[in-house]
Amino acid sequence: MTGDILTFALLSLSSIFIIVNPLSSTLLYVSLTGTLDHEVQMRIATEAAKYALAILVIFALLGGVILQLFGITLEAFRIAGGILLFVIGMEMVYARNSRSKMTATEKYEGIDAEDVSVMPLAIPMIAGPGAITTSIVLMNEAKGFGPLAYLIVIVSIVLTIGVTYYMMRNADYIVKRIGQREFRAVNRLMGMLLIAIAVQFVIIGLKTAFPTLAGV
């Protein structure tokens, strides 16, 4: 049981961390706030992290209820989420800007906006469809592990947003030491891991929806 909880904890943290992608969020933060005063930059980083955290925690806690209201089964949502994560992972591997997280229009509108903390930073860059989907699926997976597993998902969200916030606060230092080549290499590696997680989501969803596939 301890081993299962540890495996679930590693899956939760890695899944949420990879899909949020703090480094990518930090680079966008720099491009959107580069011309602003330092004090304003710090406020935007704080508010973006706060809103993103609230969104992910709310969907993690209430996602199951929302699915029931719309008559959507967890298996269907898990398969759809796996496909979405697969698409995002492929875009990361091929070093493309993920349109599943944020469109070009949203990015350019954000550059001219007075306050970019909510849109497009918190939504959809940090707490995008992929991160929301992952949070809901993981929280439902936690049912099989007991109360501790629910806490693990919430802690994984908090840690990931905490890292993202820290990186945005120290964006100038990070950007000076990470070039585009290094960023693409890290992004591709994280993309491969995300693809593997996405495939696992789909496999579990198919086995649960169609028990005969699992030989049950």
| pLDDT value, residue 83 | 86
Q: Please tell me the number of Cα atoms within 13 Å of 130 on its side-chain side.
A: 28
| pLDDT value, residue 53 | 96
| pLDDT value, residue 112 | 45
| pLDDT value, residue 110 | 47
| pLDDT value, residue 130 | 82
List the chain residues with pLDDT less than 50.
100, 104-113
Other Cβ atoms closer than 10 A to 128: 26
* Distance (Å, whole) CA 169 – CA 122: 15
Per DSSP, the residues of 27-86 read HHHHHHHTTS-HHHHHHHHHHHHHHHHHHHHHHHHHHHHHHHHTT--HHHHHHHHHHHHH
| pLDDT value, residue 209 | 77
| pLDDT value, residue 49 | 95
Structure tokens belonging to residue 79: 């398969």
Per-residue pLDDT of 108-150, as tens digits, reads 444 444 567 887 788 878 888 888 888 998 998 888 788 899 9
